[in-house]
């Protein structure tokens, strides 16, 4: 794998972004809720799981390919939705979508993007694209947005279910976060596009959400969404068996185990901690994905063994984007591919299907021996 000079892991790109992004954008991208305990937990909890390699297996050919909602992907790692990517690079979401397409994987566009559905569709026509959806108080506005997503060739809706309001991110309050004046929320017009360009004294994004998102959202709205679209629906933000089962019963095609990048309520479990419970509860009735805290190929391997069909990267893609746009995001994906392929080879796995649950155990397993 060819890497940018001195940048050989995802943390290298993160350190570069921390040095070069302006404070308003950097703190928005990197911050978590409250004391940021869960933010740290998302990464450190991966260290509580141990990989148990198998030896003397033919790994002369390693196949990382998988399928997600029927689409073939070249590796089980996609790009999570992250908002306002043009704060990181002028090409923003268009660059990230193109990089995902080059890598042969899924890109998820945020409702709160700085490139519109139509712009991303034109920029990356061959990329498998899903759309992350917030349901607004104005249901007609939401319905029209869904129709635009369908017309633009997106293949799934990823409904965020853990954000009736946005969590308290202290850095954004201190910075009085607002979207720079040359950018807008490109999927909208009027105040829906520009309200986040100002702050009334706190976080401009939280003020926007309180004004426009629907805090009365409930399970009936999943049924409503299914009634207005034929696209498969992924429920993003599930952390418990109970909600996973209810989501599948409501008709979700997939469940994404996620705590919103630890940006909603502090002290939620790390997503890798919640994954086994959710995967067991779903029991193959729907696909299961994970995002949050993934920083290397071994993290991906652990998530696959514990029940995820795919994992998705959020912040790491932003760090690659901030470095060199499309090329930087592609480098992030190439690094993870290299690390994951190496992990497969060294654990006796030659395909995603050859991973067995017994190959990853919690550290407590060894305490009981």
Query: Could you count the other beta carbons within 10 Å of the beta carbon of residue 292?
Result: 32
CA angle 205, 147, 157 (to 5 degrees): 65
Query: Could you count the other beta carbons within 10 Å of the beta carbon of residue 23?
Result: 11
Q: DSSP character for 303? A: H
CA proximity to 297, closest of 346, 260, 259: 346
Q: DSSP character for 137? A: S
Q: Spell out where the chain has E strands.
A: 49-51, 66-68, 71-73, 77-79, 106-109, 128-133, 157-160, 233-238, 254-257, 287-291, 310-313, 360-362
User: Residue 280: CB partners within 8 Å, gap ≥ 6?
Assistant: 241, 307
Show which residues are catalytic. 260
Are 103 and 327 within 8 A, CB to CB?
no
Alpha-carbon distance of 163 to 6, in angstroms, equals 38
Q: How many residues does the chain have?
A: 369
Are 131 and 117 within 8 A, CB to CB?
yes
């Amino acid at each position: 794998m060819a890497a940018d000079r001195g940048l050989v892991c995802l943390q290298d790109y993160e350190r570069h972004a921390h040095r070069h992004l302006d404070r308003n954008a950097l703190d928005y991208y990197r911050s978590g809720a409250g004391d940021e305990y869960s933010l740290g937990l998302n990464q450190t909890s991966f260290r509580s799981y141990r990989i148990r390699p198998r030896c003397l297996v033919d790994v002369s050919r390693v196949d990382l390919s998988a399928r997600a909602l029927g689409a073939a992907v070249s590796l089980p790692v996609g790009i999570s939705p992250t908002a306002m990517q043009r704060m990181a690079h002028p090409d923003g979401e268009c660059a990230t979508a193109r990089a995902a397409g080059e890598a042969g994987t899924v890109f998820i566009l945020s409702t709160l993007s700085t490139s519109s559905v139509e712009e991303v569709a034109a920029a990356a026509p061959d990329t498998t694209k899903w759309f992350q959806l917030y349901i607004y108080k104005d249901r007609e506005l939401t319905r029209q947005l869904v129709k635009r997503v369908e017309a633009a060739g997106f293949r799934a809706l990823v409904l965020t279910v853990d954000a009736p309001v946005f969590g308290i991110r202290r850095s954004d309050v201190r910075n009085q976060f607002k979207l720079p004046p040359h950018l807008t929320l490109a999927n909208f017009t009027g105040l829906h596009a520009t309200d986040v360009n100002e702050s009334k004294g706190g976080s401009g994004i939280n003020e926007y959400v309180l004004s426009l998102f629907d805090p009365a959202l409930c399970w009936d709205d999943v049924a409503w969404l299914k009634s207005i679209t034929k696209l498969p629906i992924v429920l993003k933000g599930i952390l418990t068996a109970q909600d996973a089962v209810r989501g599948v019963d409501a008709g979700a095609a997939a469940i994404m185990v996620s705590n919103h990048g630890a940006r909603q309520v502090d002290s939620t479990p790390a997503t890798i901690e919640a994954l086994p419970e959710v995967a067991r509860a779903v029991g193959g009735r729907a696909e299961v994905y994970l995002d949050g805290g993934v920083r290397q190929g071994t993290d991906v391997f652990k998530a696959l063994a514990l029940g995820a069909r795919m994992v998705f990267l959020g912040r790491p893609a932003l760090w690659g984007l901030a470095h060199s746009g499309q090329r930087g995001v592609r480098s992030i994906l190439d690094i993870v591919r290299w690390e994951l392929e190496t992990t497969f080879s060294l654990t006796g796995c030659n395909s995603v299907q050859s991973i067995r649950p017994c190959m990853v155990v919690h550290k407590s397993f060894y305490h009981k021996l």
